[in-house]
Amino acid sequence: SCDFAPDFDLGKPDSGYWTYDDNGGQPDPNLTNFSIQKDIDNKTISTLNEILQINPNIKFYGSCWSPPAWMKDNGSLIDGGHVLPQYYTALANYYVKFIQAYRNQGIPIYAITMQNEPSISVGYPSVHWTTDEYQNFAQILGQTFAANNISTKIWGLDDNEHNTFDYAKVLQNPATSPYLDGFGFHNYTGQ
């Protein structure tokens, strides 16, 4: 997997979680300051390219743990919070820029998940989505991918299996279901 934060991030909550457009906490809805340079500098890109050399058929996916803090109502990468609706389009474009930037480095992104564990708010990068918020964002994300000719698959849920029925509303909604290619599951409960 290729996570936006924190799996490739060695920081601690008080010293270094980051995204591709933190911009000092100031809003950047046009994503003028978007950059994957940290992924280049910390050798994430070169490591993924080495993996591709070993197995060119491997499939990478991205899973957002938290969008930039300026997109959220709590102004923080940690402790959940909700994405402010006025930034749904910016967040969709953030995914597009991520996919394009990685592709430019020779790394195709097969799929993204809309959000890692959308049902939780914890002391590391996280964001909480209600099912209604999730449905609204799914439409914007799917339309933004289509407008930018992005063929990367969109997976929903990416959470514990006991949350499936709540978030399945996205698949039942005819306005959102065309944009989702499936659901990702975590099996922490072992069931």
Q: Is the pLDDT of residue 54 over 80?
A: yes
Q: Which two tokens stand for residue 135?
A: 């449905």
pTM metric for this prediction? 0.90
Q: Which two tokens stand for residue 191?
A: 């069931």
Give me the phi and psi of 3, to 5 degrees please: -95, 145
Are 154 and 111 contacting, i.e. CB atoms less than 8 angstroms apart? Answer: yes
What is the DSSP-derived secondary structure letter of residue 30?
A: T
For 72-115, write each residue's pLDDT tens digit.
999 999 999 999 999 999 999 999 999 999 999 999 999 999 99
Q: Which two tokens stand for residue 83?
A: 């994405």
pLDDT at 3: 41
Are 150 and 109 contacting, i.e. CB atoms less than 8 angstroms apart? Answer: no
Q: Count helices and strands (H / E) in the chain.
A: 6, 5
Q: Is the pLDDT of residue 161 over 90?
A: no
Distance, in Å, from the CA atom of 157 to the CA atom of 79, rounded to the nearest integer, reads 19
